[in-house]
Amino acid sequence: MDIITSRYAGYCTGVTRAIKTLDTVIKENRAGNNIYTMGPLIHNPKVIESYKRKGAYPLNDINLLKPGDSIVIRSHGVTPQVMDFLKEKKVKTFDATCPFVLKVHKLAKDLSSKGYYIVLIGDKNHPEVIGIKGNINNENYVIVDSVEESAKISPQKKIALLSQTTRTEENFKLISKEIAGKIKDEVLIINTTCKTAELRQNEVAELAGKVDIMIIVGGKNSANTTHLAEISKNIQARTYHIESADDLEREWFKNLKLAGISGGSSTPHEDINEIREIIESF
């Protein structure tokens, strides 16, 4: 079987930065202090388990932290209120928030301070979205994730549109078009979708149209990986979202000639290579 692997599969720069930050903290932890990450460092169960074995654990309740503990802020970022809490707790904090996500934080803060009603496109329960909305003044915002939801927004005098970085550009454009007609005086549309994610999504769409089967590799709890699988599934019905090589089934590839492989921003290159080798063995 012939295989085409996505050029953009593998860790994005934000995830790479977070991984390097945690590796450095572990290496320099000579005093043996507790090491935590703010929730799972990345949405990849296999990677998270490997870090647990190294003594770094995901933490969901920051009230459990003690002075002297170390915590790494993952690429999704956190609210300013959380950062203030960590400072008060005298916790060693290492901020690995993706620079592009931090840019959205700043935009949300600046625009809301200028009186804009913020429409944030994304998943209201996603940690990145929670971090962004923490920068908006006076609860002057709404979070939507579909054209149907955006249709319910009441008219505003001036409004600014921002997006969760991992949302698709197509979704951003459709919602922006729906909302633009509701504005009385001023609408500011800022496309804050991640360009790397956009390249990855576009490549998956192109690849799905060429191959007989698509394999999307990454955590089932990864938003960007799930979006890749959805994009691919809409084009190639034989699309399978797997977390590891253990999920592969030989029968999927029977009588097929060309397979495509891609992965989310939390998927290591070695996972992609391992899956490619196994498919080649079929």
Buried b (16+ CB within 10 A) or exposed e, 60-89: eebeebeeebbbbbbbbbbbeebbeebeeb
Sign of CA dihedral 166, 122, 218, 35: positive
Please provide the distance, in angstroms rounded to a whole number, between the alpha carbons at the two ends of the chain: 7
What's the rounded Cα separation, in Å, for the pair 168 and 163?
9
- For 138, counting Cβ atoms within 10 Å of its Cβ (0-12 exposed, 13-18 middle, 19+ buried), the class is exposed
Annotated catalytic residue: which of 28, 49, 88, 128? 128
What's the rounded Cα separation, in Å, for the pair 172 and 187?
14
Judge whether 178 counts as a catalytic residue. Answer: no
Q: Which of 24, 52, 4, 47 is nearest to 270 (CA)?
A: 47
Residue whose pair of structure tokens reads 């006076």 in the numeric block: 138
Residue whose pair of structure tokens reads 């030989």 in the numeric block: 250
Cβ–Cβ contacts within 10 Å for residue 178, how many? 17
Which residue numbers are catalytic? 128
